[in-house]
Amino acid sequence: MTVIKRQPSVHHRTIFISDIHLGTRGCQAEMLLDFLKKNECEYLYLVGDIVDGWRLKRWWYWPQPHNDVVQKVLRKARKGTNVIYIPGNHDEAARQYCQLTFGDVRVEEEAIHVTREGRKLLVIHGDQFDGVVRYARWLAILGDWAYTLALRLNTAFNWGRRRLGLPYWSLSAYLKHKVKNAVQFIADYEAAVAGEARRRGVDGVVCGHIHHAEIRTIDGILYCNDGDWVESCTALVEDFDGRLRIVRWAEEVARRPTALPRYAPPQPLAAE
């Protein structure tokens, strides 16, 4: 009988994830489940756009892996992880429940996270600094439709890569970051978010929204974007020495000797 050794989990002080977009075909739920199973933390921040309410209003899509992501997060909360959920623009309906707790998950409009080193970080989704979302909602919805089309092309592209034995690679992210206007939008967004952190008198900011993972200093303010689980499959983690870094999970999976299973049902709680 062959015994399969289970890899030990990696422990962090804090994990920040956002822009999962559960309820959409572009969501990399299996990749996220793999990450959540192999990474533990004391604090877990869900930094918005966890469920895509915009898409679910138009048509219902909720396969089993998406439900398992929710169950995995709730299980972490029950086991003692401090889970803070900060809604974004795609799950803005949850903002009416801020300052309430559901299943040991606390819902907040925003949060202040204090790192091991004592640095104060403002944690927000970031859609407040996107003028299109705030002042031209119809244009944001149109852009969301175009983005969905790009993700479908991305899915077909990666299907071909898998057939060739190549790892996941985001065509949509590559195209977005090659377009001059998109690059300028990202720079303007980062400057606006960092400016808000400076106005609040904190040391830095953690956000999501634009699906572009980044850690850099902007005029003395630490800017951290945890990326997404649609294009890049990234998370921001704080280690126990206070160091912040981006984990690029698709790249981690690609380095393994065996490929990530397409989908494996979760084991019962007693066996986990």
Q: pLDDT tens per residue, the chain (272 residues)?
A: 444 455 678 999 999 999 999 999 889 999 999 999 999 999 999 999 999 998 898 889 999 999 999 999 999 999 999 999 999 999 999 999 999 999 899 999 999 999 999 999 999 999 988 643 343 343 344 445 555 656 666 666 666 666 777 666 665 665 555 554 555 677 888 999 999 999 999 999 999 999 899 999 999 999 999 999 998 899 999 999 999 999 999 999 988 876 665 544 444 333 33
Contacts of residue 46, Cβ cutoff 8 Å, sequence gap at least 6: 17, 18, 20, 73, 83, 84, 85, 86, 105
CATH code: domain of residue 170: 3.60.21.10
Domain assignment of residue 6, yes or no: no
Domain assignment of residue 2, yes or no: no
Domain assignment of residue 250, yes or no: yes
Domain assignment of residue 197, yes or no: yes
Q: pLDDT at position 58, please?
A: 85
Coil, helix or strand at residue 237: strand
Q: pLDDT at position 1, please?
A: 43
Domain assignment of residue 3, yes or no: no
How far CA 249 is from CA of 165, 243, 254, in Å, comes to: 18, 18, 8
Q: pLDDT at position 231, please?
A: 84
Q: pLDDT at position 187, please?
A: 80
Q: pLDDT at position 146, please?
A: 53
Task: Give the closest residue to 72 by CA, choosing from 9, 155, 116.
Answer: 9
pLDDT in tens, 44-64: 999 999 999 988 988 899 999
Domain assignment of residue 22, yes or no: yes
Q: pLDDT at position 163, please?
A: 72
Domain assignment of residue 1, yes or no: no
Q: pLDDT at position 153, please?
A: 64
Look up the domain containing 193 and give its range. 13-271
236 - beta bridge partners? 16, 246
Indicate the pTM of the whole model: 0.78
Domain assignment of residue 109, yes or no: yes
Q: pLDDT at position 195, please?
A: 93
Q: pLDDT at position 145, please?
A: 52
pLDDT in tens, 109-134: 999 999 999 999 999 999 988 643 34
Give the count of domains, the chain: 1
Contacts of residue 216, Cβ cutoff 8 Å, sequence gap at least 6: 190, 223
Q: pLDDT at position 154, please?
A: 67
